[in-house]
Structure 1
Amino acid sequence: MPAKPRRYLFSYRRYPSLSVYLDEEDADAQHIYPEYKRYGYVADLVVARTHRRQGLAQQLMRQAEQHCKTLGLTTIKVSSLACNTSASDFYQAIGYQPTERVFTKALTQ
């Protein structure tokens, strides 16, 4: 039986009410392709409207990058909705490059 994933909750010291939730995959988890275990992945990054434009998102991404480095990972990926140009601009401004396009189709019954 595979082990349960580890979960972490980090609070940002300057703003204790803000936190980051990290769900870490267990080392025994199986993937179709081994390269899927070679990078970190940020699925969602949300900063409360009242705390935006203060550098928090950039600091949170730096912490995520550092955590991935401590795990021995050499790449980190992040996703955002195609229509979220603010997120796209932000990620590119801090050094991320678009590398994939994901297509979605709703399946009707």
Structure 2
Amino acid sequence: MTSTWEQIVVDAADPARLARWWAEALGYQIVHEAADEVEIRRTPDTLPGLLFGLSSDARTVKNRLHLDLRPDDQEAEVERLVDMGARPVDIGQRDVSWVVLADPEGNEFCVLSAKRSA
């Protein structure tokens, strides 16, 4: 017996707002919306999804799990995401090839450099 990876759950103070931000960032669509949770996916039938659930807990430390995004143009993607409301953050990464950003609720994620052609 095996399992299917259904979704990643993200605690959010405002699930609808954060889900819409990530949907725009990733080119995903909302596939389920309720008062306390919103799920986004690339397409309605494509797994995994991201489920944003209501939480009143304050975020206090660096994420233990985060998303890595691999754009065609790192600089342009970082600029686009910052224009959308992301902000650069320093988590002690030093001199690396990726850029660490935080979404509007402070969840860190990385924007990797463009994939090298083989």
Name the TM-score, length of structure 2 as normaliser. 0.28
Structure with greater contact order relative to length (CA < 8 Å, sep ≥ 6): 2
Name the TM-score, length of structure 1 as normaliser. 0.29
